[in-house]
A and B are shown apart, each in its own frame.
Chain A
Amino acid sequence: MTETSRLPLSSSIRGKLISAGYTSLSSISSVSSTDLARDVNITEAEAFDILKLVNQISGSNGSSSLINGAKNAWDMLHEEESLPRITTSCSDLDSILGGGISCRDVTEIGGVPGIGKTQIGIQLSVNVQIPRECGGLGGKAIYIDTEGSFMVERALQIAEACVEDMEEYTGYMHKHFKANQVQMKPNDILENIFYFRVCSYTEQIALVNHLDKFISENKDVKVVIVDSITFHFRQDFDDLAQRTRVLSEMALKFMKLAKKFSLAVVLLNQVTTKYTEGSFQLALALGDSWSHSCTNRVILYWNGDERYAYIDKSPSLPSASASYTITSRGLRNSSSSSKRVKMM
């Protein structure tokens, strides 16, 4: 990051400055406005403004922003582009998600029972551990199980398939180094999933409050999965306003965790029927106010005999759908979509 790129200027001028070699503040302030205008190919008035700005900033001890800690959108874009994404092991799904589940965001995934929510949860908790050499994050996972659907034998099965795939990949990439590579074992993958079984909503709230401390102690946690956020909140809540308050507080905490530790939060949600305009429609559970709580929202549904994922809400991705399938090895591309490609 150069000093120039932090200047509050339009991106085109900043780009010109950097490409002309003016990367530090001192390099700019040492030239005259005429020279600067010629070198950077801008008008002299613009160059004068830049010099004024630079002098102002270097005079006031180099703090470039009005409010401490504020960032401009350009920097944030760069940061966002450099953020890793967690692959879902299904390339069609990855491509509509812009490369996978994004870190720093809260992503909600919902669908009917048996559509594969838990399978996606287990897959992500395994995939987050793919080492950096193989294009992964090399992180750890927190799995919060409220429903009791996490099966160790299934996680092991997916982990085994993942290790096999990685071996194939590294063997293909560096044939000569294969011998001295330290391989991950499926059991190591299980050890790196921090599994919490939560049996009531009070436990769930307490655990979410505790997560900040837990992740501070285990910095390499890169994904938090909650399967499902809903279960305990669909019983014993007569006061729906109170439920909304508790849930939105929880959502804020997740949002904070995601930003603070730049990790991905994945909340799995159930579906329910909603009565609108005289007919029943399917909708994700927990109501309308909850739907504002997550940055991204993915809905899973059946289309004929195929499972589909649809991006319902995202600030940066276009709404799109992709088919996926669940195999013994985990989440994969739907076989019919690859057939279709071959036929074309």
Chain B
Amino acid sequence: MKPQNLGRQSPTSRKLTTGCEIIDGCLRGGFPCNSLTEIVAESGCGKTQLCLQLSLCAQLPISHGGLDGSALYLHSEFPFPFRRLHQLSRSFHQSNPSIYANHNDNPCDHVFVQNVNSVDHLFDIMPRIDAFVGNTKNRFPLKLIVLDSVAALFRSEFDNTPSDLRKRASLFFKISGKLKQLANNFDLAVVITNQVTDLVESSDGLSGLRIGNLRYLYSSGRRVVPALGLAWANCVNSRFFISRSNETICKENDESGRSSVSIRAQRRLEIVFSPHLPGSSCEFKITPEGICELQA
């Protein structure tokens, strides 16, 4: 067994751009390789949007912040948004004309989609990923694994009894261990999404357990906590939280004198914990072209 020489490694690990400058700035370049990153948010905050965009960005050349690789998208929430991926890939193709100038590649060709129905199914799939990475018929090696979402796999199958919870925790560590091994062996970025649960104040005080930089997580005006509890929180390297709040904008309509009310969703990405990032946050919006920064 030989130690790795840290001095000879590049001082910053490879990062995968999100395609949004503000988020990249907040994350110091994007999602790190050889690391497990979790995105926690309630539905409709843009978890899947961000993951789809990352899957496309992975094929960007390294000079453009990508990983020069393909993406494997494991989805357990149905249906998979093929239409949306297609829409994103078209605008992705257009916004990166230099990369696709020489060949008539479709960006979708480098996003592999696999459904996951249950935890056992996931354990069937994961050993096959090794072979999949090794199989380099593709122009791009596999560089990103997305699991969207881990919560959907667990939320139906297990009871809230001590023995079931213990079994569940052991499975968390098994999944995380295997994914981290893949990430380490092939220098992959691994992104996992997770749902939230509403926080109900209880007498034992544990539901208010603080994990990470933020004292409370608020989304849509409710206090929430990431699903799957403390055991799962130990399994990820970084945790990001996307919150959503609706902002009402009143516009005075000059002609008729009446005012129209429009609601704009404010989405904010916050760093809950991460070994290499300080606590910070940034706002973004979702457009037909994907996730992008707010115009000032």
| Binary interface encoding of chain A residues 280-322 relative to chain B, with 1 for a CB under 8 A from any of its CBs, else 0 | 1010000000000000000000100100000000000000000
Q: Is A340 an interface residue (CB 8 A)?
A: no
User: A236 contacts B170, CB within 8 Å?
Assistant: yes
Enumerate B23-48 residues with CB–CB distance to A below 8 Å.
Answer: 28, 32, 34-36
Known A196-B1, A273-B206, A282-B206; judge A114-B211 contact (CB<8 A): yes
Looking across the interface, which residue of chain A has its beta carbon closest to that of B231?
Answer: A272
Known A231-B173, A279-B204; judge A114-B239 contact (CB<8 A): yes
Please measure, in the bound complex, the distance between the C-alpha atom of A206 and the C-alpha atom of B8, giving whole angstroms.
25
- Residues of B within 8 Å of A154, CB to CB, are 275-276
User: B275 contacts A196, CB within 8 Å?
Assistant: no
User: B3 contacts A194, CB within 8 Å?
Assistant: yes
Q: Which of B52-60, B138-146, B176-184 lines the interface with chain A?
A: B176-184
Specify which of B12, B13, B173 is in contact with A235 (CB 8 Å cutoff): B173
- Residues of B within 8 Å of A232, CB to CB, are 173, 177
* Further pairs besides A113-B236, A153-B13: 4, Cβ < 8 Å: A114-B272, A151-B13, A199-B180, A230-B234
Q: Is A207 an interface residue (CB 8 A)?
A: yes
User: A112 contacts B233, CB within 8 Å?
Assistant: yes
- Residues of A within 8 Å of B211, CB to CB, are 112-114
User: A113 contacts B276, CB within 8 Å?
Assistant: no
User: B6 contacts A207, CB within 8 Å?
Assistant: no
Looking across the interface, which residue of chain B has its beta carbon closest to that of A326?
Answer: B278
Q: Is A71 an interface residue (CB 8 A)?
A: no
**CB within 8 Å of B: which residues of A?**
112-114, 118-119, 142, 147-156, 187-188, 190-191, 193-197, 199-200, 206-207, 210, 214, 230-232, 234-237, 270-273, 275, 279-280, 282, 302, 305, 328
User: B9 contacts A152, CB within 8 Å?
Assistant: yes
**CB within 8 Å of A: which residues of B?**
1, 3-13, 28, 32, 34-36, 162, 169-171, 173-174, 176-177, 180-181, 183-185, 204, 206, 209-213, 215, 230-231, 233-234, 236-237, 239, 272-273, 275-276, 278
User: A196 contacts B173, CB within 8 Å?
Assistant: no
Please measure, in the bound complex, the distance between the C-alpha atom of A231 and the C-alpha atom of B180, giving whole angstroms.
11
Known A187-B7, A191-B7, A235-B170; judge A149-B177 contact (CB<8 A): no
User: A113 contacts B32, CB within 8 Å?
Assistant: no
User: B7 contacts A199, CB within 8 Å?
Assistant: no
Known A187-B7, A196-B3, A279-B204; judge A150-B210 contact (CB<8 A): no
Which of A197, A210, A235 is the most central at the interface, judged by chain B CB atoms within 10 Å of its CB?
Answer: A235
Please measure, in the bound complex, the distance between the C-alpha atom of A305 and the C-alpha atom of B214, giving whole angstroms.
9
Looking across the interface, which residue of chain A has its beta carbon closest to that of B181?
Answer: A199
Please measure, in the bound complex, the distance between the C-alpha atom of A275 and the C-alpha atom of B206, giving whole angstroms.
12
Specify which of B6, B32, B272 is in contact with A195 (CB 8 Å cutoff): B6
Which of A114, A197, A199, A236 is the most central at the interface, judged by chain B CB atoms within 10 Å of its CB?
Answer: A114
User: B34 contacts A148, CB within 8 Å?
Assistant: yes
Looking across the interface, which residue of chain A has its beta carbon closest to that of B215?
Answer: A305
Please measure, in the bound complex, the distance between the C-alpha atom of A193 and the C-alpha atom of B4, giving whole angstroms.
9
Q: List the 5 shortest-distance A-B pairs measured between CB atoms, nearest first.
A: A114-B273, A114-B212, A191-B7, A235-B173, A194-B3
User: A272 contacts B230, CB within 8 Å?
Assistant: yes
- Residues of A within 8 Å of B209, CB to CB, are 112, 282
